[in-house]
Amino acid sequence: MFIYSKNIFHPLLISLVKYISIFPYTRHLSFNKILKLYSNKEDEKIIKIFLMKKLLLFIALSLFVLNNALAQTPDSTNFFPHHKGDMWEYLFTDGTGYDTVQVIITVDSTDTNGVSYITEIGRSINPVAPPIMVESITNYRVNSLNEVYTDYYTDGAYIKNPLIYKLNAQLGESWSLDTSGNNAERCRIRSMDTNLIFGEKRIIKDYDFYLGDSSYNPPGLDRYEVKLAEGLGMMWKGGGDAIGNLYLKGAVINGILYGDTTKIITGIKNNISLIPKEVELYQNYPNPFNPSTTIKFEVVKGAELSLIVYDLQGKETVKLIDGRYYYPGIYSITWDGNNRSGYKIANGIYFYALNINGKTIVKSMVYLK
Top mean pLDDT of 62-76, 85-99, 263-277 is at 85-99
**Average pLDDT of the residues in 216-237:** 84
Average pLDDT for residues 123-144, to the nearest whole number?
Answer: 84
Number of structural domains in the chain: 3
Candidate from 17-26, 52-61, 75-84, 118-127 with smallest mean pLDDT: 17-26
| Burial profile 233-252: b = 16 or more Cβ within 10 angstroms, e = fewer | bbbbbbbbebebbbebbbbb
Task: Tell me if the pTM is above 0.85.
Answer: no
pLDDT at residue 110, rounded to an integer: 92
Candidate from 106-110, 144-148, 180-184, 219-223 with smallest mean pLDDT: 180-184
pLDDT digits (tens, 9 = 90+) for 56-79: 777 777 676 555 544 445 678 899
**Domain boundary residue among 71, 96, 125?**
71
Do residues 143 and 182 both lie within one domain? yes
If one compares 14 and 152, the residue with the highest pLDDT of the two is 152
Closest CA to 134 of 181, 101, 174, 91: 101
Residue 294: the pLDDT is 94
Mean pLDDT over the full length of the chain: 78
What is the domain extent for residue 46?
A: 6-71
Least confident of 64-78, 197-211, 233-247, 321-335: 64-78
pLDDT of amino acid 156: 57
Same domain, 196 and 323: no
More confident residue, 261 or 32: 261
Query: Same domain, yes or no, for 288 and 342?
Result: yes
How much is the average pLDDT of 124-136? 79
Is the Cβ–Cβ distance between 25 and 60 less than 8 Å? no
Could you give the angle at the alpha carbon of 155 between the alpha carbons of 152 and 157, nearest 5°?
45
300 pLDDT more than 90: no
Residues 152 and 244 in one domain: yes
- One domain for residues 66 and 82: no
pLDDT tier for residue 303 given thresholds of 50, 70 and 90: confident
Tell me the average pLDDT across 29-48: 54
| Residues 237 and 282 both lie in one domain | no
Q: Are residues 169 and 224 in the same domain?
A: yes
- What's the pLDDT score for residue 215? 65
Q: How confident is the model at residue 219 (pLDDT cuts 50, 70, 90)?
A: low
Q: For residue 192, what pLDDT is reported?
A: 94
1 is a domain residue: no
Same domain? 302 vs 188 = no
User: Quick check: 310 pLDDT over 50?
Assistant: yes
Q: Which of 38, 71, 104 is the last residue of a domain?
A: 71
Q: Is residue 268 part of a domain?
A: no
- Average pLDDT, stretch 235-264? 84
Distance CA 30, CA 39 (A): 14
Among 7-21, 204-218, 322-336, name the one with the lowest average pLDDT: 7-21
CATH of the domain at 296: 2.60.40.4070
**Does position 2 have pLDDT exceeding 80, yes or no?**
no
Looking at the fold, whether 248 and 178 belong to one and the same domain comes out as: yes
Q: In this predicted structure, what is the pLDDT of residue 312?
A: 73
Closest CA to 288 of 253, 328, 317: 253
pLDDT given at position 66 = 59
The per-residue pLDDT for 178 is: 73
Give pLDDT, residue 88.
Answer: 92
Q: What is the domain-level CATH number for residue 152?
A: 2.40.360
Task: Tell me the average pLDDT across 90-109.
Answer: 86
pLDDT at 146 over 70: yes
Residues 139-161, mean pLDDT to the nearest whole number: 83
Q: Which one of 37, 54, 71 terminates a domain?
A: 71
Judged against a pLDDT cut of 70, whether residue 9 lies above it is answered with no
